[in-house]
């Protein structure tokens, strides 16, 4: 078991039905996640980047067992999480937690901070009832909240503080894997830095593994050890952080990186502007998903067949015909 990854996602597919009209019986399929595989090793931070609507959050929901996939499996420590029932499922819930994007809708507006953070402890009976308060204080201390915040309601806090409450709740069960679904994109830039540093400190202290989902390339570069780039429900490129940022292979990744602003006015770089909009996932392009916007697409193959995700260098996988 020791050499199997903490989380292994295999050929995951999830599509949603979209009704096409009031009177037509046919319904369209929106392929949110289309044949995605990756694995996350213990102790690492696996970054998942992509534009909005590319299926990142659907993957998060599937890993958290909030939805069932159409196809494919997710293994956590070697066991398929979709076959878990009853006590086993509850045990799994203890080990995997999520931090949500929106710090406003992620906290119950009618509960006090103390009971929000303490609820998972109560459900799993981790500490005796009379010790919950002490444990909550300990957690609040870890994420930088003060003890007098215990009896307040979420609306009394700023978004950064609210995100800390969410982090404390996720930590309360001492999970092994934390899925961070855009944890900082709703925050101000200065608060983003604080929150990211907090997450990284906690990772060291508690030996956490993160699946870090974001659309912000610079944030992902800062926190991740490995990165996967998603486009239209598919992973188009994955590599270690250094490798990906120093030598991106897929034309989509290259275009994305060229759009990241550099805080130095003397640097002039050539920006690759992609044509058009991201295609609708209801009707994705035939062939390579990126072919409709790719600046270098080759009409011989790119529009006809989907490229497989293949290893090009050591640990660097890319799905592009032109890199063969």
Partner 1 sequence: MQIKTVTDRFSKNRLAIAGLAIVTVLFIIALCAPFIAPYDYKTINVRAILMPPGKAHLLGTDDLGRDLLSRIIWGSRISLAVGFVAVGISTVIGIVLGSLAGYYGRWIDSTIMRFVDMMLCFPSFFLILTVIAFVGPSIWNIMIIIGLTSWMGVARLVRAEFLSLKEREFVLSAVTSGAKDLRIIFVHILPNALTPVFVSAVLGVAAAVLVEGALSFLGLGVQPPTPSWGNILTSGKDNIEIAWWLSVFPGLAILLTVLGYNLLGEGLRDALDPKFKS
Residues 166-195 that bind partner 1 (CB under 8 A): 166, 169-170, 173
d(CA 173, CA 216): 28
**Measured from the CB of residue 66, what is the shortest distance to partner 1 in angstroms?**
6
Q: Distance between CA atoms of 7 and 209, rounded to whole angstroms?
A: 10
x/- string (CB under 8 A) for partner 1, residues 47-86? Answer: --------------x--xxx--------------------
Nearer to partner 1, 90 or 269 (CB): 90
**Shortest Å, Cβ 45 to partner 1:** 20
CA distance 272 to 259: 7
Pairing of strands 96-99, 226-231: unpaired
**Site track 116-155 with partner 1 (rule: CB under 8 A), x = hit:** ---xx--xx------------------------------x
- Decide the pairing of beta strands 234-240 and 226-231: antiparallel
CA distance linking residue 185 with residue 160, whole number of Å: 11
Supply the minimum distance, in Å, between the C-beta of residue 15 and partner 1: 18
Segment contacting partner 1 by CB under 8 A, of 135-143, 163-171, 194-202, 253-261? 163-171
- Strand order from edge to edge, sheet including 79-80: 27-40, 7-19, 71-76, 79-80
d(CA 190, CA 40) in angstroms, rounded, equals: 29
Among 97, 195, 292, 306, which residue sits at the site for partner 1 (rule: CB under 8 A)? Answer: 97
314-319 contacts: CB < 8 A, separation 24 or more? 315/239, 315/240, 315/243, 316/237, 316/238, 316/239, 316/240, 316/243, 316/244, 316/249, 317/237, 317/238, 317/239, 318/236, 318/237, 318/238, 318/249, 318/250, 319/234, 319/235, 319/236, 319/237, 319/250, 319/288
The nearest distance, CB 64 to partner 1, in angstroms, is 5
287 touches 303 (CB < 8 A): yes
**Span interacting with partner 1, options 92-100, 219-227, 286-294, 298-306, rule CB under 8 A:** 92-100
Task: Give the nearer residue to partner 1 in terms of CB position, either 65 or 193.
Answer: 65
Our CB check for partner 1 shows the closer of 170 and 191 to be: 170
Assess 283 for contact with partner 1 (CB under 8 A).
no
Radius of gyration of the chain (CA): 21
Rounded least distance, CB 91 to partner 1, Å: 9
Total number of residues that touch partner 1 (CB under 8 A): 30
Among 15, 34, 45, 106, binds partner 1 (CB under 8 A): 106
Residues 145 and 137: their CA atoms lie apart, in Å, by: 9
Nearer to partner 1, 170 or 244 (CB): 170
Q: Which is nearer to partner 1, 10 or 65 (CB)?
A: 65
To which residue do tokens 């066991």 refer?
79
In whole angstroms, the minimum distance from the beta carbon of 109 to partner 1 comes to 7
Q: Is 100 in the site for partner 1 (CB under 8 A)?
A: yes
The interface region with partner 1, picked from 36-44, 115-123, 208-216, 240-248 by CB under 8 A, is: 115-123
Q: Which chain residues interact with partner 1 by CB under 8 A?
A: 61, 64-66, 89-90, 93-94, 96-98, 100-102, 105-111, 119-120, 123-124, 155, 166, 169-170, 173
């Amino acid at each position: 078991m020791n050499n199997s990854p903490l989380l292994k996602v295999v050929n995951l597919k999830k599509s949603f039905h979209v009704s096409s009209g009031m009177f037509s019986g046919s319904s369209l399929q929106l392929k949110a996640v289309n044949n995605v595989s990756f694995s996350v090793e213990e102790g690492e931070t696996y970054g998942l980047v992509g534009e909005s609507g590319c299926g990142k959050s659907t993957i998060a929901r599937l890993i958290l067992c909030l939805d069932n996939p159409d196809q494919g499996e997710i293994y956590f420590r070697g066991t398929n999480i979709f076959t878990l029932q009853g006590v086993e499922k509850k045990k799994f819930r203890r080990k995997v937690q999520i931090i949500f994007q929106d710090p406003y809708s992620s906290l119950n507006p009618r509960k006090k901070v103390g009971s929000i953070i303490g609820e998972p402890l109560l459900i799993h009976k981790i500490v005796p009832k009379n010790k919950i308060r002490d444990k909550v204080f300990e957690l609040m201390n870890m994420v930088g909240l003060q003890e007098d915040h215990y009896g307040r309601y979420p609306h009394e806090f700023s978004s950064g503080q609210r995100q800390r409450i969410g982090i404390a709740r996720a930590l309360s069960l001492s999970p092994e894997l934390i899925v961070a679904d855009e944890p900082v994109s709703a925050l101000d830039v200065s608060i983003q830095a604080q929150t990211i540093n907090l997450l990284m400190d906690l990772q060291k202290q508690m030996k956490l593994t993160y699946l870090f989902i974001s659309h912000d390339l610079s944030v992902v570069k800062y926190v991740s050890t490995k990165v996967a780039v998603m486009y239209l429900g598919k992973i188009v490129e994955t590599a270690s952080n250094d490798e990906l940022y120093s030598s991106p292979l897929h034309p989509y990744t290259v275009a994305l990186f060229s759009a990241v602003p550099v805080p130095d006015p003397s640097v002039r770089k050539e920006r690759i502007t992609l044509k058009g909009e991201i295609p609708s996932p209801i009707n994705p392009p035939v062939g390579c998903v990126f072919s409709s916007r790719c600046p270098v697409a080759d009409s011989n193959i790119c529009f006809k067949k989907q490229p497989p995700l293949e290893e090009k260098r050591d640990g660097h996988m890319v799905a592009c015909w032109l890199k063969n």
